[in-house]
Structure formats: structure tokens, C-alpha cells
Amino acid sequence: MTDRVVVAGAVYDRGRLLAARRSAPPELAGRWELPGGKLEPGERPEQALVRELREELGVEARPVERIPGEWPLMPGLVLQVWTVRLLSGEPRPLEDHDELRWLGPEEIHTVDWLDQDRPAVAEAARRLPAP
Ligand code: CDP
């Protein structure tokens, strides 16, 4: 059986990376992640990411490049990550999150990222555009 894909976005704006704090489920609440979610049937990853960022943050965004790699979540789910440029809107925690933070290069490691997001966050930090 092929794994189901979860897409997440390394959203950049003015040289900072967006971190989102999960509000659910209880075992993940309080941990920080790159926002995203599961592909729906028939969706391409980039489409799913645009939809998830619209639903969760109320923004329009454009996937730019895939961060190489794929990280296992729970059995049957894998995480893929894209760098994303914000096109319009100010992100708000509309769904799944209770706080958002913009992190500059020196602040990336100041939040408690989900373990499975850490490799992608490290790659995202290396790609952080100049402000
Ligand atoms: O919103 P949707 O139900 O599609 O997805 P989700 O609940 O946000 O994420 C699906 C699964 O992927 C959950 O188990 C999350 O913990 C996990 N996930 C993750 O590990 N890292 C992310 N950056 C995003 C989601």
C-alpha cells in the first residue's frame, strides 16, 4: 500500500519562517509545526498545500520548491515539505493552531517543533531568503 502524503509549507516572508502551534490532538497540542495537511483524493501536493494554507491560515500562497526528502509520520503517512511564498493575507490561526510565530534565522530553534518536522525545518532554515 502506498503511504498517504501530508504536505506542509515552509512559509517565508521578509526573511522569516512561519511556525504554527498545534491545538489538537492532545498528544500534539502545544508543539510547533510547518502548517499543512493531508492530500485529498485526486489532489496534487501543491494544490493540497495551497488549499490547506487557505483553510488554516486564511492566506494565498505559492509553493516554490520541494525540500528533498520524505519523513514518516504515523504508519501509512509521510510528510513532504515545500518552500512557500506568501502572496496575500496576514496568516491567522483559523484552524488546527492556536498561535503563529514568524521566526528569523536566530529564532528557528526557539520553539518546540514536532520531532518529525525537525529535518525539514533545518532544511527550510538553510533556504531562508534574505529579508
Ligand atoms: O488537516 P488534516 O487532517 O488534513 O491534517 P493534519 O491533522 O493537520 O495532519 C495530518 C497528520 O500529519 C497529523 O498526524 C499531523 O500530526 C501530521 N503533521 C506533521 O507531523 N507535521 C506537519 N507539519 C503537519 C502535519
Residue nearest atom 16 in ligand 1 by C-alpha distance: 28
Residue 130 has pLDDT above 90, yes or no: no
CB 79 less than 6 A from any atom of ligand 1: yes
ipTM of the complex: 0.94
Q: Is the peptide bond before 25 cis (omega within 30 degrees of 0)?
A: yes
DSSP string, 50-101: HHHHHHHH--EEEEEEEEEEEEE-STTEEEEEEEEEEEES-----SSEEEEE
pLDDT digits (tens, 9 = 90+) for 66-120: 999 999 999 999 999 999 999 999 999 999 999 999 999 999 999 999 999 999 9
Average pLDDT, the chain: 96
Expressed in angstroms and rounded, the spacing between residue 28 Cα and the centre of ligand 1 is 10
pLDDT digits (tens, 9 = 90+) for 5-22: 999 999 999 999 999 999
Expressed in angstroms and rounded, the spacing between residue 33 Cα and the centre of ligand 1 is 9
CA 19 to chain centre: 7
Are 23 and 97 a contacting pair, CB within 8 Å? yes
pLDDT digits (tens, 9 = 90+) for 20-74: 999 999 999 999 999 999 999 999 999 999 999 999 999 999 999 999 999 999 9
Nearest to 79 by CA among 34, 44, 41, 111: 34
Q: What is the pLDDT of residue 128?
A: 94
Whole-number percent of the chain with pLDDT over 90: 95
Expressed in angstroms and rounded, the spacing between residue 71 Cα and the centre of ligand 1 is 12
